[in-house]
């Protein structure tokens, strides 16, 4: 804010800075959480220090940049980011430590690095995409009830699958979850049998006059 004062910005610019300041703090916290999570996953793999360094400094950043390059708006930006990703990944091929690893270990490290890179998603694209889907498919309902929204969320996370056969919950937790239908049957109390309907008594016949 002091720098903005020295630049003699307009009052509208100050209001935008004040509005963006909490978002910047949340962004810093998110990036810090991502790096801590990645370091924990790499540490759990019990790699040699030299191999762990290659994974953290070259393999994960290279795969991440290659994945997000296609989302940039201009061809020049996409090309520049892909070149940077190839430069990082090419460093591995010139490393004696990496070349000494077997192909099986390299594939396992690629899988680990790809999972780590996918932990960080720019913006809230997954949430925005789902909100857009709900708005498109259910706009005629005006508003979804909390119960129906919860059901749609459970189906989205545990039932809907990508072409590779994985669900959102499986990709998030790194393990295949229990079957949703079996879990519901175990936790939801089944309704009691309906009460048997009683037939209405027949009216007594009227006595005929003699």
Residue with the two structure tokens 């020295």: 6
Residue 78 contacts by C-beta under 8 Å, 6 or more apart in sequence?
69, 70, 72
List the pLDDT tens digit at each of the 210 positions of the chain: 666 667 777 777 777 877 877 778 888 888 888 889 899 989 998 899 999 999 999 999 999 999 888 888 889 999 999 999 999 999 988 889 999 999 999 999 999 998 888 877 654 455 556 666 776 666 666 677 778 878 888 888 888 888 888 888 887 777 788 887 788 788 887 777 777 777 767 766 655 555
Token pair for 20? 């963006």
Asked whether the beta carbons of 55 and 109 are under 8 A apart, the reply is yes
Instruction: Check: CB of residue 112 under 8 Å from CB of residue 45.
Output: yes
Residue 161, strand partner residues: 167
What CA dihedral angle connects 48, 116, 60 and 64, to 10 degrees? 180
Give me the residues paired with residue 205 across strands.
Answer: none
- Residues 65, 85: contact at Cβ < 8 Å? yes
């Amino acid at each position: 804010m002091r720098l903005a004062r020295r630049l003699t910005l307009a009052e509208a610019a100050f209001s935008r800075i004040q509005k963006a300041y909490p978002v910047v703090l949340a962004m810093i916290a998110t990036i810090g959480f991502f790096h801590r999570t990645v370091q924990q996953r790499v540490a759990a793999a019990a790699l040699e220090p030299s191999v762990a360094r290659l994974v953290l400094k070259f393999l994960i950043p290279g795969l991440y940049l290659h994945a997000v390059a296609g989302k940039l708006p201009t061809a020049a930006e996409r090309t520049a980011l892909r070149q940077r990703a190839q430069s990082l990944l090419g460093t591995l091929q010139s490393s004696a430590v990496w070349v000494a690893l077997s192909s099986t270990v390299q594939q396992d490290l690629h899988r680990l690095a790809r999972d780590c890179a996918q932990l960080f998603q720019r913006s809230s694209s997954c949430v925005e995409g789902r909100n857009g889907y709900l708005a498109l498919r259910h706009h005629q309902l005006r508003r979804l009830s909390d119960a129906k929204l919860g059901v749609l969320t459970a189906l989205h996370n545990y039932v809907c699958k990508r072409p590779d056969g994985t669900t959102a919950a499986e990709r998030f937790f790194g393990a295949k979850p229990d079957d949703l239908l079996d879990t519901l049957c175990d936790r939801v109390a089944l309704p009691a049998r309906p009460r048997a309907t009683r037939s209405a008594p027949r009216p007594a016949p009227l006595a005929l006059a003699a």
